[in-house]
Amino acid sequence: MSLQVYTRKRNFAHTPEPSGKAKKKSAALTFVVQRHDASRLHYDFRLQVNGVLKSWAVPKGPSMNPNDKRLAVMVEDHPLAYGNFEGEIPEGNYGAGTVEIWDHGTYQPEEEASDLDKTMMQELKNGSLKFILYGERLKGSFALVKMKNGDGKNWLLIKHRDEYATDEYDIEQESKVKRKSRSSKDKSTSSDISVPRSVRSSKEKVTDYIKPTMAYTREEPFNDEDWIFEIKWDGYRAVAEVGKKNIRFYSRNGLSFERLYPAIAEELKKIKDDVVLDGEVVVLDKNDRPSFQKLQHYSENRSLPLVYYVFDCLRYKGKDITDLPLLERKKIAAQVLPPGNVLKYSDHVAADGKAFFEHAVKLGLEGIIAKRAESTYAVGRRTYDWLKIKNHNTQEAVIAGYTEPRGSRSYFGALVLAMYQKGKLKYIGHTGTGFTEKILKDVFKTLQPDVRKTSPFDTKVPINAPVTWVDPKHVCAIKYTEVTDDGILRHPVFMGLRIDKKAKEVDHLDVEVASDKNTKTKVKKTVARKPAAKKVARRKASGKPEADSGIVKVQGHELKFTHLDKIYWPDEGITKGEVIEYYNSIHKYILPYLKDRPQSLKRNPNGIADKGFFHKDAGDAAPEWVDSIELYSESADKEIDYILCNNKATLLYLNNLGCIEINPWNSRVKSLDNPDYLIMDIDPSEKSTFDEVIDAARVIKDILTKAGAASFCKTSGASGLHVYVPLGAKYDYEQARSFAEIVATLTMEQLPDTTTMERSLNKRKNKIYLDYLQNKRGQTLASVYSLRPVPGATISTPLDWKEVKRGLSPAQFTMKTLPKRLDKKGDLFKGVLKKGIDMAKCLKKLEG
């Protein structure tokens, strides 16, 4: 289902609305009603049908009174992600105003149906939908009936007479209840417990609380028969004291969790023994993975599973058992827990930490905890008997202030981050990523009572925007890529506020390595990191010292190039400066294939010897003149600020970040759901020859020629070939992928011995993989004319089809040979961006 009209009406660089995309069918259908206070107040009624939200603007809003026949004007389809959208659409944008979720839930057709989407689509076509809503405010049977006037856009929304109907209904009076139905989710099943709105609104403290054992950090997993390994849960550490008459349930710093998480408190009351338990409060996302951000905003995520994972026991039947070996304590913890889904035992594996860590990484978990099997419990202390091994680099940071917002962003631009070092505040970076509109608003409100006039730092902080300082008392969780020599977090991403830690506790970075005589391995000790001495300059192949950093003006913008003599290709002696020189020399050729396309930055700041990392969310940290766009990422479950490489200055800025390779989307911001081309990625195995890759490309070319489709070939820059087919943004990704799959199938039929469409590496049997799945929103490949971080400094180079014959080698095309080739042949790839194929005609020709 196309979202072209929705996308065309919005500039996602200036509105917080999700760009989204159509999705496949699902087992349950959802609906949402949003109160939209725009130029005129109205309500938007949306039903999930066939992967999108079918939408109607209802001026007077839906009613539970059967006598009210509400006008509902059908508008453009919206992406499913819009069902979670709340916030302010800025002035100047389509639909400017405030959007609130008024009601939401699931629904089903009134008549039983095996295929829900198919039934609803047929009813839409017939102009009469009958359905049952399972909402918080709207319940029971409804109908949408198309009117004869209004060019098919005017419908009537009618409530059927059933047990939920009422003859007295005032929607605005209902709205004034301040989302009473939504906040009712926050109420406990026990009527005498009232629930705080969020973690930050609960300030109850307990006295004489038990401080749990804390772990040091280790960099690498290890195997050791004397150790066990548990999942590192991404939540709030919590201690539960269960007595015969009452319970106490609190955070590591004594903040009461009883009213905040009443479901857990009620389950703890079912424990019959007098015990003290240690564990972690976790919210599981839709993929059953722990989500700290969902936990942070649990009042809005109460439909998600809340779990208290218990991994230790400190007291049993009133007796202190902290001196017992860990495995004995864990055995007791497992025995005392009642059956159910709220209290769960956190199990472990013995000895094999490496495999366990690899499994945790595959599942996208936070990491693992290694514990010495015979260790006792160290109350209130950090111990080398417990080691945390992280999949992601995470760190707590103190918030010292915030910068002014820019562009369309509201509330603030970035948080100023700090930690305590010898009692004084030390700057460790700033973050402007990881925020939704609602999180921006919540954090802003939290900080307002603590605004101050002066900086809390003793020294000047390198901030490039006006700052509002705050008292350094709030702690947040940060994810980052690495720590610089000066102790600054690189590319920090905000994960949420922490209520379970005091600011003074944030006095170290998990970076220093120390040895532990009691273990067979090295552990990563948690200490305050001191600034390292300035590195000795690397030497260029010529023997000259590293060039000084310098500021250069490019297209009127200031660029600071750094470490230009850093060796990127050790064998070839190619430096970072030469990479920048290459892109500067061919910028007019590559930029047409980058303009207005979100960039997934692949960074290799240490050259090709470093496997590098992807840095998608880079726009907020870029200079103001660098264009960017915020788009919702389903895989990351957040808005990501993608850079748009729209000019030479931005291209060279990316090169200076260590982007040897440039990876654009297949679609542009004006039509994000419609790619400009489809791609056939011919990906060889280690045992495939390049001649076999060429054979596959030639067969693909013949199939496309038969279909009447233009095609263009380029080297991948590594060991494969890419064949592009221009689409002219006329088709969506699903259509492009389906066409590519047909071409791949026909190719495999002709080359069954050397090609496969099997995605799994283990099942490919050393054949060439015909990857048609590259045709997906957000999927990227190295751009034409992009360098690749591989030996030889090869380049993804367009080819004349006459050149695509056995004997060709991708090693022919390097950063040293390509400029001369461009002077001779020009841009062989420009047809990719021209008029697209007629897919219907092509398919007919292939059928013939």
Amino acid found at 512: E
Residues classed as catalytic: 232
For residue 458, give both structure tokens.
Answer: 């003793």
Tell me the CB-side half-sphere exposure of residue 582, using CA atoms within 13 A: 27
Report how far residue 218's alpha carbon sits from residue 785's, in angstroms, rounded to the nearest whole number. Answer: 41
Length of the chain: 848
CA atoms within 13 A on the CB side of 539: 4
Answer for the pair 333, 313: CB distance below 8 angstroms, yes or no: yes
Residue 839's CB is within 10 A of a number of other CB atoms, namely: 19
* β-bridge pairing 306-316 and 343-345: parallel
Residue 706: its H or E element: helix 690-707
Angle, alpha carbons 31-33-36 (nearest 5°): 150
Q: Tell me which residue has tokens 């409060």.
A: 281
Asked if 17 and 10 count as a contact pair (C-beta separation under 8 A), the reply is: yes
Contact call for residues 677 and 739 (beta carbons, < 8 A): no
- β-pairing verdict for 601-603 and 677-683: unpaired
Residue 642: beta bridge partners? 629
Q: According to DSSP H, which parts of 314-473 are helical? A: 326-336, 353-362, 437-447
Residue type at position 437: E
* Helix (H), strand (E) at residue 845: helix 839-847
Q: Do residues 686 and 792 lie in contact, with contact meaning Cβ atoms separated by under 8 Å?
A: no
Q: In whole angstroms, what separates CA 195 from the centre of its chain?
A: 30
Torsions phi, psi for 298 (to 5 deg): -65, -30
220: nearest Cα among 520, 17, 549, 566? 520
Gap between the Cα atoms of 20 and 644, Å rounded: 18
Please report, as a single letter, which amino acid is at residue 219: E
Is the Cβ–Cβ distance between 598 and 642 less than 8 Å?
yes
- Quick check: helix, strand or coil at residue 822? helix
Q: Output phi, psi for 307, to 5 deg.
A: -135, 140
Token digits for 24?
């496949």
Give me the sign of the Cα torsion angle 364, 371, 529, 606: negative
Give the pair of three-digit tokens for residue 630.
């915020």
Burial of 148 (0-12, 13-18, 19+ CB in 10 A): exposed
Note the Cα 430 to chain centre separation in Å: 19
- DSSP string covering 469-491, please? EE-TT-EEEEEESEE-TTSPEES
Beta bridge partners of 523: 514
CA 638 centroid distance within chain: 5
Cα 692 to Cα 459, 696, 764, 769: the distances in Å are 63, 6, 15, 11
Let me know if 503 is exposed, middle or buried by CB neighbors in 10 A (0-12, 13-18, 19+): buried
Distance separating alpha carbons of residues 795 and 515, to the nearest angstrom: 44
Which residues, at least 6 apart from 689, have a Cβ–Cβ distance to it below 8 Å? Answer: none
- Which residues 6+ apart lie within 8 Å of 423 measured at CB? none
The answer to whether residues 138 and 64 touch, using CB atoms and an 8 Å cutoff, is yes
Distance CA 426, CA 417 (A): 9
